[in-house]
Amino acid sequence: MDQSALPDCTPASLDVEAALAQVLDALTPLPGSEQIALDLALGRVLAQPLVAAMDLQPWPNSAMDGYAFAVSDLDQALAKGLALAGTSMAGHPFTGTLDPGECVRILTGAILPAGCDTVAMQEHVAVHGDQIRLTANVPRGANVRAPGEDVRTGSVVLPAGTRLGPPQIALAAALGQARVVVNHRPRVALFTSGDELTPLGQPLAAGAIYDSNRYLLRAMLQQMGMPVIDLGIVADDPDAVRSAFAAARAQADVVISSGGVSVGDADYVREVFSEFGDIHFWRIAMKPGRPLAFGRLDETWFFGLPGNPVSTAVTFLEFVRPALCRLEGEPLTAPLRVELPLLEPLRKAPGRMDFQRGIVAIDKDGRPGVRSAGPQGSHVMSSLAAANCLLVLPAASGDLPAGSLVEVELLPWTGTPAAHGQP
Ligand code: AMP
Ligand code: MG
């Protein structure tokens, strides 16, 4: 086809920040929320703030195994001792009443008996039959967890827009919240395009490759907990791309494709999308990456990612991931980037912003630093698999000597950075 008929890729490159800002400005959170059981809520985004319906701790209780008493009896406790009146264990309160000069054996988490305000840890007590004597001074309120010390009734513990991870779920559970109201998740359809792409399980014809990007995209989406509609491999043929896009639009809030968005003869994704008005084709000043299509057709958002596997991964992480978070109603937070010293010199050509595959590792003196994960070609998947971070290097930067501070963005699938071994 006549490529000149297509809307041009912006001839000048667009900065990563500018492109991301355009994407995020265009998006608003999807409407709708649902109430779900807390045990199904991992990874979901709160639609309403979580307000504490009770105090945490709900009761004054002991932080130690020891003895509970009233601090007004401190002098007697240090001199002749206090009489043991009973025991308070977690789940088994002491139900009697305490007379002056008495104390209660108390275990961690047990409710503080009425009349007591202080707990002496058992290491600071000498026991003589039913008498206990303090061997050290104990300040008022020692070892007591006050009601509401952690969370007060009526306070907002998690604002709307919080993504629920394990500690947020635990906090909701501690407050007795068996159900939570969460935002709808975007439904995401994906397809890969290219005549060379072969499904797994089939032999490779000459010049063919296995379709790894569909696995990559699906896995990244699954890790975000997004419902995925996998439309498979689409041939380099305008009608095939057209019908894939039509199928995707009918079912999904977001369509992601990989491949076919540059200006080659077989890049029909670009050709087909240019039939739909509101789509931008950008040349992003980044490496890897570069061509990126973004647009909207009615209620469906579209991301056309480049086909080289590392470009697919990086453009997904830098553009699609924040977009999906925004659609799900998570307030925007910039990716967490920290500065670490280079453990080795690094090659970087000035001109574009680099997202180099890196490894955060511990140097021989036990200090964290970062080094390259290997060859940086946008087709090199082994260095992506070896990496635990991206080194985010500004466009103007050239080669960097060891010791230079560089910005590091941990890859979201990285559990423990140092687990990747020593430099
Ligand atoms: P394209 O963006 O279609 O020009 O593709 C750029 C490069 O990425 C080519 O070498 C393709 O073979 C490769 N590629 C495209 N799609 C995939 C895919 N789904 N899995 C792995 N490699 C791909
Ligand atoms: Mg292609």
Output the pLDDT for position 270: 82
Q: How confident is the model at residue 330 (pLDDT cuts 50, 70, 90)?
A: very high
Q: Which residues are near ligand 1 (CB < 6 Å)?
A: 192, 194, 196-197, 209, 211-214, 258-260, 262, 264, 306-309
pLDDT digit string, tens, across residues 260-309? 988 887 888 888 888 876 888 899 999 998 899 999 988 899 999 999 99
Pairing mode, strands 131-134 and 125-128: antiparallel
Question: CA-CA distance, 265 to 2, in Å (whole number)?
Answer: 9
pLDDT digit string, tens, across residues 197-214? 999 999 999 999 999 999
pLDDT digit string, tens, across residues 90-148? 999 999 999 999 999 999 999 999 999 999 999 999 999 999 999 999 999 999 999 99
The best mutation among 190, 204, 211, 213 to test binding of ligand 1, ranked by most ligand atoms within 8 Å of the C-beta, falls on: 213
**Ligand 1 centroid, distance to 386 Cα (angstroms):** 21
Which residue's CA is minimally distant from atom 15 of ligand 1?
Answer: 307
> What is the position in ligand 1's atom list of the atom closest to the CA of 233?
19
The tally of CA atoms less than 13 A away on the side-chain side of residue 73 is 25
| pTM summary value | 0.91
**Cα maximum dimension of the chain:** 101
Q: Is the pLDDT score of 243 beyond 80?
A: yes
Which residue's CA is minimally distant from atom 17 of ligand 1?
Answer: 307
Q: Is the pLDDT score of 4 beyond 60?
A: no
Which CA distances in Å does 298 have to 269, 279, 295? 18, 12, 10
The tally of CA atoms less than 13 A away on the side-chain side of residue 36 is 18
> What is the position in ligand 1's atom list of the atom closest to the CA of 214?
19
Q: Which two tokens stand for residue 410?
A: 């941990």
Q: Is the pLDDT score of 420 beyond 50?
A: no
The best mutation among 9, 193, 195, 197 to test binding of ligand 1, ranked by most ligand atoms within 8 Å of the C-beta, falls on: 197
